[in-house]
Amino acid sequence: MTPVLEVRQLSARYGRVEALHDISLSVADGEFVAVLGPNGAGKSTLMRAIMGLVANSGDVSFCGSALPRQSPDACVARGVVLVPEGRGIFAPMTVAENLELGAYLLNDSVEFERRQARVFNLFPRMRERLDQIAGSLSGGEQQMLAVGRALMADPKILLLDEPSLGLAPKVIDEILHACAPQQGRAAYRSGRAEGAIGASPVQPCLPAFSRPADRRNRSAHDQVP
């Protein structure tokens, strides 16, 4: 079966510094794959490179066809969406405005309402905080907003970069509940290795955890220079 996401020999650089070297990995339909590595190993760079947010070379294909290598817009349009490390929310704007920006490619008010309702269903607190300035949300709420904003793009695959950093276990659980099926959450909580898991609201996920999670990806871990 064709993998949903296939990364082949992906390298990335910041100026003259190569931060990622020849990484290959694949994500099957419904799979929740974890990328593990110490600080500076290149987990965030891998996600940025998949999205075309950093200069890169190699091949990335999504559902069997190539993703353009330097076009984050095209990735989002195809349904490949990143929740960046540090959340990347627009702090001076309201929760509602942040969610609107997540759906910036959409020009259909009915579909907008449907997506927003789904976010409220997953994170009821976002409905309560709709008019609040995003920068004044708690850390956990900001992470919910970051995931919610990504979901407003209607992703087919979600790239989560350290979604649990600094959050209480209960909040982590709420966020993973939004992104992963039950089996994945259980595996994450117990910290044991786990293989492929079933369907989720946004199909497969590719999180970057810096502690034990579902499936360790050797290529991503071992080939970083």
Ligand X SMILES: Nc1ncnc2c1ncn2[C@@H]1O[C@H](COP(=O)(O)OP(=O)(O)OP(=O)(O)O)[C@@H](O)[C@H]1O
Report the site for ligand X in 51-110 (rule: CB under 6 A).
85
Measure Cα distances from 218 to 111, 158, 221, 224 in Å: 39, 20, 5, 10
User: Kind and range of the H or E element at 118?
Assistant: helix 109-122
Report the site for ligand X in 132-191 (rule: CB under 6 A).
none
Q: Which of 8, 14, 166, 222 binds ligand X (CB under 6 A)?
A: 14
Scanning 11-19, 75-83, 104-112, 187-195 for contacts with ligand X by CB under 6 A, the matching segment is 11-19
State yes or no: residue 44 binds Mg ion (CB under 5 A): yes
Sign of the torsion formed by the C-alpha atoms of 166, 183, 177 and 83: positive
Please identify, using beta-carbon distances, which residue of 210 and 223 lies nearer to ligand X: 210
Rounded Cα distance between 86 and 174, Å, is 18
Three-state DSSP at 80 gives strand
Least distance CB 74 / ligand X (angstroms): 22
State yes or no: residue 45 binds ligand X (CB under 6 A): yes
Report the site for Mg ion in 84-113 (rule: CB under 5 A).
85
Please identify, using beta-carbon distances, which residue of 54 and 99 lies nearer to ligand X: 54
205 strand-pairing partners: 32, 158
**Contact status, residue 221 vs residue 36, Cβ threshold 8 Å:** yes
Scanning 37-45, 95-103, 131-139, 171-179 for contacts with Mg ion by CB under 5 A, the matching segment is 37-45
Closest CA to 88 of 159, 19, 39: 159
Scanning 77-85, 98-106, 117-125, 139-147 for contacts with Mg ion by CB under 5 A, the matching segment is 77-85
**Contact status, residue 12 vs residue 45, Cβ threshold 8 Å:** yes
Q: By CB under 6 A, name the binding residues for ligand X.
A: 14, 17, 19, 37, 39-45, 85, 210
Q: By CB under 5 A, name the binding residues for Mg ion.
A: 43-44, 85
